[in-house]
Amino acid sequence: MSGYTDEVIVREGLQDRGLDFLHKPFTPEALLRCVRAVLDRTVT
């Protein structure tokens, strides 16, 4: 999660590193979806 603009995120290449990223502002539902997706990938 970052308070930086999309322009900074793209310029710094953060999305190209395969990181999970949640853009601000986000809804509680978006936060839950992101957390669920990360947990689903890490549980074996």
24-38: per-residue pLDDT in tens? 888 999 999 989 988
Residue found by looking up tokens 């995120």 in the block: 9
Global pTM value: 0.60
pLDDT band for position 2 (50/70/90)? confident
| Dihedral sign for Cα atoms in the order 1, 30, 44, 18 | negative
CB 6, CB 13: distance < 8 Å: no
